[in-house]
């Protein structure tokens, strides 16, 4: 899967959906650092991509970087709220609470 997506990228097919797919594939493959790179580019293409904010935050949770995860979730919550994506907003609020709990231990 990753190889196929990377090949598409090499052929010049760079867009938010491809970057999201690569990010998710790397995250699923337990490579959060590589996933972060692709989610960040995805968000450069489309800052309103709620699912990318959510999974970018998850990358930082996997890395146990609670502060960065909390900041990403907060940005994602703001974006989701602005565009009316209530489900993503609710999910990220739960994840943000978990991050804040870790930060306050």
A 10 A CB-CB count for 78 gives: 13
Residue 56 is part of which domain span?
Answer: 2-103
- Torsion angle, alpha carbons of 8, 12, 13, 14, to 10: 110
> Is the pLDDT at 94 greater than 90, yes or no?
yes
Which 3 state secondary structure label does DSSP give 46? Answer: coil
Rounded CA-CA distance 100/105 in Å is 9
Rounded CA-CA distance 32/74 in Å is 19
- CATH number of the domain residue 34 falls in: 1.25.40.10
Rounded CA-CA distance 64/5 in Å is 27
- Average model confidence (pLDDT) for the chain? 97
Q: What is the pLDDT of residue 105?
A: 83
Q: What is the pLDDT of residue 99?
A: 97
The dihedrals phi and psi of 11, each to the nearest 5 degrees, come to -85, 5
> Is the pLDDT at 56 greater than 90, yes or no?
yes
Q: What is the pLDDT of residue 77?
A: 98
Q: Specify the number of domains making up the chain.
A: 1
> Is the pLDDT at 68 greater than 90, yes or no?
yes
Entry pTM: 0.95
Cβ 73 vs Cβ 95: under 8 Å:
yes
């Amino acid at each position: 899967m990753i190889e196929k997506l990377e090949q598409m990228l090499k052929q010049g097919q760079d867009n938010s959906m491809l970057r999201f797919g690569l990010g998710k594939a790397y995250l699923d493959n337990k490579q959060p650092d590589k996933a972060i790179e692709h989610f960040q580019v995805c968000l450069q293409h489309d800052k309103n991509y709620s699912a990318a904010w959510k999974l970018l935050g998850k990358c930082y949770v996997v890395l146990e970087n609670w502060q960065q995860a909390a900041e990403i979730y907060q940005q994602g919550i703001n974006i989701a709220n602005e565009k009316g994506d209530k489900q993503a907003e609710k999910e990220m609020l739960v994840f943000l609470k978990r991050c804040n709990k870790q930060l306050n231990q």
